[in-house]
Amino acid sequence: MSTKASGIVVVGSINADLVVTLERHPQPGETVLGRSMTVLPGGKGANQAVAAAKLGAPVTMIGAVGGDAYADAALAGLRAAGVDLALHPAEAGTGVAVVEVSDDGENSIVVIPGANAEVTSDVVRASGELISGAGVVVLQGEIPAAAVAEAIRLATGRVILNLAPVIDLDRSAMLAADPLVVNEHEGTLVLAQLGVPDPPAPGDHRRVIEGLAAAGFPSVVVTLGAEGALVAADGSIRAVPAPKVAAVDTTGAGDAFVGALAARLAAGDSLMEGAAFAARVGAYAVRSAGAQPSYPALGEVLPGEPGEGQPSKAEPVQ
């Protein structure tokens, strides 16, 4: 296990994704025929680490895998991207996600946490020096809440908290996020968890982000898929459009966004600059199958900025 410090530390899940392609998703009780199944590296934590590293950011991944056949598959993308690994050897099997991808590019996912459930607060504390030395710490909701809270406590740099899925965190821990990154559904759940009355109606993105900003988060990003994102910071709310692309597979696109955002914040961009870049990376990712294999590397052409629909390129992260 390496202990090299890096600019970004991701604490989170590492999975093997069993990706099944099919014409359409089955209804409850229905059997449909799939076309193929592929085993790919995944897990929200690993996805975000790979996305940042492929864009040139120095990244350390703290997580756990089992001693089973899925471990090598789960770690393949992290190793290929040059992510430094701080791994806990777990008794349980490596986490697995069964991902169904239909012809319209939409996905449904069932996650079996496995080793990810063994990323406890004690495991996080064992990597406390890495976390406290990071400029940006990235967290999600696929490891135990106590471990997420401990990582937030140890962090001295900027904390990006992607509450996906939404887990039960102490209010003070949640409000350390700068930014909190959620989609509209997750944002509504966070508001409920914080006890905010009169929840927004479905589709009322503006009220979701206004409620989160009013709750005390220093900054908030609400991702809206093909519509881009809303960003609340410094007392204002601004929209970040996403380039229009033909979606092949949306799996891991949100993680591509978070990883790219972390890379740009670590490089010194403003939150708006980082979110605009992350929206282009997310749009790039949905154009091909899988999560980590779909992420851009340095120099690859991204859809969108700059100019009127002209492509841009990922820039090196210093």
CB within 8 A of 80, min separation 6: which ones? none
Q: Which residues contact 253 (CB under 8 A, 6 or more apart)?
A: 225, 282, 285, 286
Please report where in the chains the tokens 């799996």 appear, as a residue: 251
Q: Catalytic one among 84, 249, 255, 269?
A: 255
Reported as half-sphere exposure (CB side, CA atoms, 13 A), residue 174 has a value of: 24
SS3 229: strand
Q: Determine the angle formed by the axes of helices 184-193 and 205-215, rounding to 10 degrees.
A: 40
307: left (phi over 0), alpha (psi -120 to 50) or beta: left
Task: For tokens 């380039």, name the residue.
Answer: 243
Does 249 qualify as catalytic in the annotation? no
Q: Which residues are catalytic?
A: 255
